[in-house]
């Protein structure tokens, strides 16, 4: 049984005060949800991570980072390494989020190094994939997602891949209010699971969690979660409102 996992990506939003308040509200509002029934993480901007970790200490809400660098230390001005993130209490790190791919320009090769470095550094990567609108319209979804998965996980042994959570986020559904239908999402999730079974083995593929992301809201979370291969949700905009994020967590339990 795959344990549901709901993660809230705050992107470049909040400030120190509102970020800590949001974390506290999420902790208070989820205190009656059994920790063993769902994994929950919030993913604030780097600079607020220590304050959010502190606000969430003694709760089962974990903290993640929105990115991580692919080296453990050294002359890489402006970058943040896996050990630094562990040091301040992070458990997860997004790798290859669509805004890193399409706004910042990260390529599959760099994302592959980040996933590998995150696992080596003791973090749990949330490895994001997803096609652009024109790629979907040109029936290229499986081709694009397959390339992203194969290149993003290249040279990673099975035991490392088992630390990875995959997030399927169709780029056309992120921040647009357009959600993939549960059937569209399920089709790609099941394609990804079969691909992982071919690359590794069926057991690993059956154990790995595949999250859906892209305009997840309280009113569509339950039907997405009802799909066989959707194991959790990566939430952007709706994770900035405690009530909405809490409703999404409840829909996933």
Binding residue (CB under 6 A) for ligand PGA from 122, 175, 202, 207: 175
Is residue 174 close enough to count as binding ligand PGA by CB under 6 A?
yes
As beta bridge partners, residue 42 has: 8, 63
Is residue 213 close enough to count as binding ligand PGA by CB under 6 A?
yes
Report the largest interatomic distance among the alpha carbons of the chain, rounded to a whole angstrom: 48
Question: Cβ of 183: how many Cβ atoms within 10 Å?
Answer: 9
Alpha carbon distance 96, 253 (integer Å): 27
Alpha carbon distance 96, 94 (integer Å): 7
Active site residue 36: no
Question: Catalytic pick from 106, 131, 135, 169?
Answer: 169
Alpha carbon distance 147, 149 (integer Å): 6
**By Cβ distance, which residue is nearest to ligand PGA?**
236
Is residue 237 close enough to count as binding ligand PGA by CB under 6 A?
yes
- CA-based nearest residue to 135, from 172, 87, 160, 188: 172
**Residue nearer to ligand PGA on the CB measure, 234 or 249:** 234
Options 66-74, 80-88, 182-190, 209-217: segment touching ligand PGA (CB under 6 A): 209-217
- Measured CA to CA in angstroms, residue 70 lies from 45, 50, 123, 143, 165 at distances of 18, 21, 12, 26, 17
Is residue 234 close enough to count as binding ligand PGA by CB under 6 A?
yes
Is residue 236 close enough to count as binding ligand PGA by CB under 6 A?
yes
Is residue 65 close enough to count as binding ligand PGA by CB under 6 A?
no
What mask, x for binding ligand PGA by CB under 6 A, covers residues 130 to 169? ---------------------------------------x
Alpha carbon distance 226, 245 (integer Å): 18
Minimum separation from the CB atom of position 172 to ligand PGA (A) = 10
Helix, strand, coil distribution of the chain in percent, nearest 5? 50, 15, 40
Minimum separation from the CB atom of position 178 to ligand PGA (A) = 9
Alpha carbon distance 125, 119 (integer Å): 7
**Residue nearer to ligand PGA on the CB measure, 69 or 212:** 212
The residue count for binding ligand PGA (CB under 6 A) is 13
Site residues, ligand PGA (CB under 6 A): 9, 169, 174-175, 213-216, 234-238
Would you name the residues annotated as active-site residues? 97, 169
């Amino acid at each position: 049984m795959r344990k549901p996992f709901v993660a809230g990506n705050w992107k470049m939003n909040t400030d120190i005060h509102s970020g800590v308040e949001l974390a506290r509200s999420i902790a208070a509002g989820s205190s009656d949800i059994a920790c063993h029934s769902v994994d929950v993480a919030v993913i604030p901007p780097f600079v607020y991570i220590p304050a959010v970790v502190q606000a969430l200490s003694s709760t089962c809400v974990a903290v993640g980072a929105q990115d991580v660098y692919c080296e453990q230390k050294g002359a890489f001005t402006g970058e943040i390494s896996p050990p630094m993130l562990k040091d301040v209490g992070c458990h997860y790190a997004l790798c290859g989020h669509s805004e890193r791919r399409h706004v910042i320009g990260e390529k599959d090769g760099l994302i592959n190094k980040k996933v590998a470095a995150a696992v080596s550094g003791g973090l749990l990567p949330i490895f994001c994939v997803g096609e652009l609108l024109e790629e979907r319209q040109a029936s290229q979804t499986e081709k694009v997602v397959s390339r992203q998965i194969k290149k993003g996980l290249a040279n990673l042994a099975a035991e490392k891949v088992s630390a990875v959570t995959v997030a399927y986020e169709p780029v056309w559904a992120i921040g647009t209010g357009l959600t993939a239908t549960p059937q569209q999402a399920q089709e790609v999730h099941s394609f990804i699971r079969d691909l992982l079974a071919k690359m590794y083995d069926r057991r690993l593929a059956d154990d790995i969690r595949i999250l859906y992301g892209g305009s997840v809201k309280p009113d569509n979370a339950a039907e997405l979660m009802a799909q066989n291969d959707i194991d959790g949700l990566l939430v952007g905009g709706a994770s900035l409102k405690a009530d909405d994020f809490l409703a999404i967590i409840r829909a996933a339990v």
